Amino acid sequence: MRLAEKFTPEVLIEAPRRGPAIPNADGTKALFSTSTHTIGGDTLQEIRILDLSTKGSHVVTANSRAHDFTWLTANSVAFLEPGEKDGVTQLLITKWSDQDTLFEEDSYVAAVFPGPVSSLKLKSLRDGSVALAVVGRADSEGNLFNGEAEPKKSSIRVYDNFNVRFWDSYIRPQKYTIWYARLHSSSNEGGDRWGLDGKLSNLLPNNPEIEAPSSLKDGFFDGSKAFDIAEDGIVFTAQDPSNKDPLYRLTTKVFYTRLPSWSGQYPAAAPREIPCYQDTSRGMYTNSRISPDGKMVAFLKRSVERQQDARLYVAGLVENTGAMVAGSALEVYNMVTGRPWGLIPLSFEFMDNHSLVLTAQDSGYITLHRLKLQPNAIPELIFKNGSVSDYWPLYREGAEKLLVTSSSLVESSLYSIVDAGGKSDAEVVSSASHNGAKLGLSPDQVSEIYFEGAGDYCVQAWVVKPRDFDAKKRYPLCMIVHGGPESCWNNAWSTRWNAAAFAEQGYIAVAPNITGSVGFGLDHTERIYGSWGDYPYKDLEKCLEYLQGLPNLDLDNAVAAGGSYGGYMMLWIQGHELGRKFKALVCHDGVFHLPSFLLECDEPIGPTEDFQGGPYIWNNLSELEKWSPAQADLLKKWKTPMLIVHSDLDFRVPITEGLAAFNTCQALGIESRFVNFPDENHFVLKEENSLQWHRQVFAWLNRFAGIEASTR
């Protein structure tokens, strides 16, 4: 990429976007994806191999249709791509050597699957073959479903339960399941070539009521995070098949299925639920994993009653009449280590058979920790640099290392080799932006503040200044409110709500982690329950009071913006005194009428979460109306010019919420604008649409803040 003098929306859109770095078996190479868009042109998508010693990389393929890349062996790569026939999927394999460079022509088709599949997982078996697992839909006969092969003559959809749509798609009647097979190699004149033993087998042919893995919803979530494979079986999370209550539609369970044979010669055993010892509560299970030796499973559980409190569980795989089965799972901090931890695990992987590597939200960072599964152990911090997004054990030269992918508010992608014992400093392997320098950014732009909140607690906020900040000048404040509300502003890169992009327009951008934010203790998160428009709103008032004491801030020309819950907050402050403190507002996908929104949303608010008394109008009308921006007395107070952005495919906060807010502004004579993307969902992701989003948002804010338009 070329060096940028100034970080503009155009630079943000055209900057290469890298995926996580995935090491091979001997720890010498890593696989990663990169996507580079040219404004007004095409998007170049590449898969590259990175040499972890020389730190150079070269292209595996620039096939934009390829997906699910993973290592097959230490020097060969497997990936999936759509086949020539409608709906089929091909498994391709390509080999690497030190003497040549990988080219697409070197790839060969190892298998053809008769329908769409994804979430490819591979694992070497003791006999030299390789276990393969993918995720795809099953038809009514238990076969791999291919909707493109038999197009429907009518577009009708019929539903008899609450599972109608999710994120940006309507839910199909064919459920997801896990498919498995075995790959074997054979030698010929061209060297070893891999092929499939037989065909894909359905892991759950006799359990059509179970949909697995639970996290895969039409491509929005990565299904590979919800299941894992080993020599003798598969562990996975699945939607709770016994649930009939819409309030509990997100509850899941974790299962283990024993596999006598990966080739499908013998059928898989019936799935067995793994119970949690002394905990029968409903919950959401995630991150199911199997230890390297195949003798232990682990997962995270969030109870319905405390959805932000993830608990870590482990269960042994014990031999029973010659077969490996899972016993009850033990809560790690209570029953294994015996010591509580102040942080909440976000994700984990097995480092070895006796320890885990975990990430956690920690005061605006996502940090990496090592936990030994033994009495009195506590997670030890091994990496804190921005926010960790991915990590893989890296075994080489007998040393325990990790290949870590992270980012920051100015660094778009960083690959580091980290000592799993925390005894040595991290080694930087590759920085996409040279710590922001290639993008016209610098770490010196970023700082953080703490101020007193609405109660007996402090609130943290990130502060980002322009790169050319002059201490003799004053800059308008741009307050950015995050969504969730159980989310946070991390020291992490984003192509959507990028604080540096706002700052480079000429603002001092402030991103506060108000009540409801995660990573600052459960009390700070759960304080928002029954208080959507109370503590968070008052925290923003307190933030503005604190900022009055800081130099260089022009509060007379302050503006504010927020998305999702942050959009709700823009509508909420419109009807309150705080709304008059800002010259302009931007509401992206905000909630206007809370009671009806809770019935329209694709994802339910749980029975005890967020609103005391539940989310139903007929049971809790007064509480829901209390926190709704659409109260008549509040609407009459709206005055601040507002830009409203809402997209047609947003099923999380349906577009009618944005239209109602815009029509209210128009009816009240408030200067306002409505921006719509017919092909976007809750997020604006397409590059050219994202560019227009930034141009519209910045033009609106700059106009009222008195900032001249920035140029490329």
Task: Tell me 276's DSSP state.
Answer: B
| CA 46/CA 60 separation, integer angstroms | 7
| pLDDT value at residue 636 | 98
For 219-236, write each residue's pLDDT tens digit: 556 788 899 999 999 999
Clarify whether 650 is annotated catalytic. Answer: yes
CA distances to 52, 278, 589, 635 from 639, in Å: 57, 55, 20, 9
Look at residue 225 in the predicted model and tell me its pLDDT.
87
346 in Cβ contact with 361 (< 8 Å): yes
| Cα–Cα distance for residue pair 692/491, rounded to 1 Å | 25
Task: Using alpha carbons, list the distances in angstroms from residue 510 to 221, 507, 540, 548, 553.
Answer: 30, 9, 11, 13, 11
Please give the residue that has the higher pLDDT: either 662 or 399: 662
236, 237, 238, 240 alpha-carbon torsion, rounded to 10°:
140
Q: What is the mean pLDDT of residues 302-307?
A: 88
* pLDDT number for residue 95: 86
Identity of residue 629: P
What percent of the chain lies above the pLDDT cut of 70? 94
Radius of gyration of the chain, Cα coordinates, nearest whole angstrom = 26
Q: What rounded mean pLDDT belongs to the chain?
A: 93
Round to whole Å and give the CA distance between 640 and 625. Answer: 22
pLDDT, residue 613, reads: 84
Question: For this structure, is 140 an active site residue?
Answer: no
The pLDDT, as a whole number, for residue 573 is 99
| Phi, psi of 416, rounded to the nearest 5 degrees | -135, 150
Q: In this structure, what token pair is assigned to residue 597? A: 């929104």
Task: Report phi then psi at 218, rounded to 5.
Answer: 50, 40
- Amino acid 322: pLDDT: 47
Condensed to tens digits (0 to 9), the pLDDT of residues 670-681 reads: 999 999 999 999
Residue showing tokens 């299941």 = 227
CA separation, residue 391 to residues 30, 139, 388, 403 (Å) = 12, 36, 8, 6
Q: In 3D, which of 257, 265, 267 has the Cα closest to residue 227?
A: 257
Active site residue 564: yes
Q: Alpha carbon 306 to chain centroid distance? A: 20
> What HEC string does 613-631 produce?
CCCCHHHHHHHHHHCCCCC
Amino acid at 530: G
> Which residue out of 228, 539, 589, 650 is catalytically annotated?
650
For residue 630, CA distances in Å to 405, 536, 685 come to 43, 18, 29
Average pLDDT of span 187-203: 84
Answer left, alpha or beta for residue 68, where phi above 0 means left and psi between -120 and 50 means alpha.
Answer: left
Q: pLDDT (tens digit, 9 = 90+) per residue, 556-605?
A: 999 999 999 999 999 999 999 999 999 999 999 999 999 999 999 998 77
Does residue 711 register a pLDDT over 50? Answer: no
Which of 107, 288, 408, 564 is an active site residue? 564
Q: What is the pLDDT of residue 712?
A: 37
Report which of residues 568 and 106 the model is more confident about: 568
312: helix, strand or coil? strand
At 323 the pLDDT is 54
- Active-site residue identified among 682, 690, 694, 710: 682
User: Is the model's pLDDT at 324 over the cut of 60?
Assistant: no
Three-class SS state of 477: strand
What pLDDT does 188 receive? 60
For residue range 3-57, list pLDDT tens digits in order.
889 999 999 999 999 999 999 999 999 999 999 999 999 999 999 999 999 999 9
Query: Tens digit of pLDDT for each residue in 240-259?
Result: 888 888 888 889 999 999 99
List the structure tokens of 468. 């050319």
Average pLDDT over residues 376-386: 97
Distance CA 329, CA 148 (A): 41
Average pLDDT for residues 65-92, to the nearest whole number? 94
Q: How confident is the model at residue 296 (pLDDT cuts 50, 70, 90)?
A: very high
pLDDT > 90 fraction of the chain, expressed in percent and rounded: 83
pLDDT digits (tens, 9 = 90+) for 360-380: 999 999 999 999 999 999 999
d(CA 165, CA 147): 18
pLDDT tier at 617, thresholds 50, 70, 90: very high
Q: How many CB atoms lie within 10 A of CB 531?
A: 20
What is the tens place of the pLDDT at every residue in 112-143?
999 999 999 999 999 999 999 999 999 999 99
